Homo-oligomer: A and B are copies of this chain.
C-alpha cells in the first residue's frame, strides 16, 4: 500500500517545487495532505499566486503517526526564517519535523530543507544536498554539491531544479 505523505508548504512557497511533488504523487496514487506553515490555509507562491493548503501546521501536531513521510517544500519564506523563528507556526513546524525525524519517517525536501532538518537535529553524519548558499549552515551533517543525496531516511535535493533527478527514487520508496 502506498505511504501517506504530509507536505509542509512555507509561505511564500516555491510553486515549481511544491507542485512537482503534488502532481507526481497524484499521478502515482500516493496519498498526501498539504499543511500551510502559517496561521491560515491561504498562502502564496513565490510567484504571487494565492493558493489554499488542506490544513495548517498546528493541526499536524499530535497526528504525526498518521503519516509515513514528510516533505518540506521550500520557498521565499526561508531567507526570512531567522526573523520569524518565534512565530507559533514556525515553532510548530520545527516540532513536527523533529517528531517525524525521530520516529524515523522518510524526510524529503529541497533547497533549504537539509538546513531545516539539521536545525531539528536529524542530520548527524548524514550526507545532504542543499542550496549552495545554505551549505555553511550544515555542521552535523555532510553537505555535498550533488543534485540530490539519499542517506538513510533523508532525501534531499539541491534546489527545485534538481528534484526531478531524485523523483524516481522518491516514488519508488513511497509506492
A interface list, Cβ under 8 A from B: 14-16, 18-20, 22-27, 34, 45-53, 160-161, 164
Contacts and interface: CB of A to CB of B under 8 A. Distances in A.
Contacts of A16: 16, 19-20, 22-24
Contacts of A164: 161, 164
A46 B18 contact: no
List the number of copies, as a whole number.
2
Contact of A49 (B22, B27, B160): B22
A25 B15 CA distance: 12
Max chain B C-beta neighbours (<10 A), residue from A14, A15, A45, A50: A15
A24 B161 CA distance: 10
A53 B51 CA distance: 9
Contacts of A50: 51-52
A124 to B, nearest CB: 33
23 contacts: A14-B23, A15-B18, A15-B19, A15-B22, A15-B23, A16-B16, A16-B20, A16-B22, A16-B23, A16-B24, A19-B47, A22-B45, A23-B46, A23-B47, A26-B46, A26-B47, A27-B46, A49-B51, A49-B52, A50-B52, A51-B52, A161-B164, A164-B164
A61 to B, nearest CB: 22
Contact of A19 (B19, B24, B27, B34): B19
Nearest to A15: B19
A62 B6 CA distance: 44
B51 A23 contact: no
A15 B14 CA distance: 12
Contacts of A46: 23, 26-27
A30 to B, nearest CB: 11
